Structure 1
Amino acid sequence: MDITHALGDRVQWFRAEAEMYRWLEHYERKHSELFRVIERFRHDKVVWRGVADREEAENGGLNGAVTFGRMQAAMHKRLEHNARVIFKSAHSSAHHEWVSATGFDDLVIKVNNWRDVVFKWMDEMSIHRVYKDF
């Protein structure tokens, strides 16, 4: 094999590896972004419920601010529920273990465990996984 052919193979290998990592990053990012959106809806629900409860306690009953706060809390509760249902039911495009994460830290652990299984062949061939440097 001549040197130019060998160099061409190496270039092709590195290009394919970079493309694989880009695909992997996008796949993981979609999961984490939907997870973040669900958590944001949950947080907003709690905040609006707290605003309504505080307004009711301070003013001794229902008023427009309390009603608005409860409506916002209910809306964010529905949004959280709907996003969670969609995320967990997207079996064809979502990773089945990742959707069961109980928190962002748990999601990161599940993603890292999945990477170890999927890329075990690289470890067996002593191929350096560049993302582990970070």
Structure 2
Amino acid sequence: MALLVVVVAAAAVAEADGGYGHQTHYPVKTIVKHRRYPVVKHQPYPVVRRVPVYKPVHKTVVKHVPQPYPVVKHVPVVKHVPVVKEVPVVKHVPVVKRVPVVEHKYHVRKVPVHVPVYVEKPSSGYGHH
């Protein structure tokens, strides 16, 4: 049974290949060429500088804060200002439409990407791939 399967498989390969007779066509070789092609991509902005994050220290007890200078009693100063009639000032402010602030974490750049281009080229030898 196994021998029959092997013989049938060999016959199918021989038929698909055109048999062992004269080949009327040259085998085609596929070559992959990589060419640079600019593609628009979203890339994150580069990090300029890392800022350290300071964590607060909890459970700190301050018993005494030294005073560098003696505390002076503050006396209110009375200033006599002439009474002026208050006139309402009309300011013409243009109405501005509020626009929500959007954080742009990405910017659009043209980045070269290698795109494979398939070229059909006949092989140089006879019967070789």
| Alignment TM-score, normalising by the size of structure 1 | 0.22
Larger relative CO (CA 8 A, sep 6+): 1 or 2?
2
| Alignment TM-score, normalising by the size of structure 2 | 0.22
- Structure 1 or 2, whichever has the larger Rg, is 2
| Larger relative helix fraction | 1
